[in-house]
Amino acid sequence: MAIKLSKREKTLAMIALGAAMFYVFYQFLLVPKLEETDKLKTEAKKLRLELKVAEQKIKILEQVEKRLGTVEQRQPKREAVEVEEEALKVLRALAQTTSSSKLKLLSIKPIIGKGNTLRFELLCTGTYQQLYSFLEILHGLDILMLIDSLNVTSRGSQSGDLDIKVSLTAHL
* 138 CB neighbour count, 10 Å cutoff: 19
The most distant pair of C-alpha atoms in the chain lies apart, rounded to whole Å, by 142
Average pLDDT of the chain? 84
> From CA 102, how far away is CA 130, in angstroms rounded?
6
Distance separating alpha carbons of residues 8 and 24, to the nearest angstrom: 24
The pLDDT of residue 116 is above 70: no
Domain 80-171 in CATH 3.30.70.60: yes
pLDDT tens-digit readout, 54-93 = 899 888 888 888 877 655 555 555 566 677 788 888 888 8
Neighbour-count burial for 88-120, b at 16+ CB within 10 Å, e otherwise: eebeebbeebbeebebebeebeeeebeeeebbb
* Lowest-confidence pick of 12-26, 74-88, 129-143: 74-88
Cβ neighbours for 127, distance < 8 A, ≥ 6 positions apart: 159, 160, 161, 162
Q: Which of 2-11, 92-101, 154-163 has the lowest mean pLDDT?
A: 154-163
**Is 44 a residue whose pLDDT tops 90?**
yes
Q: For the segment 97-111, what is each residue's pLDDT rounded down to a tens digit?
A: 888 889 888 888 888
Q: Locate the domains of the chain by residue range.
A: 80-171
pLDDT at residue number 21: 94
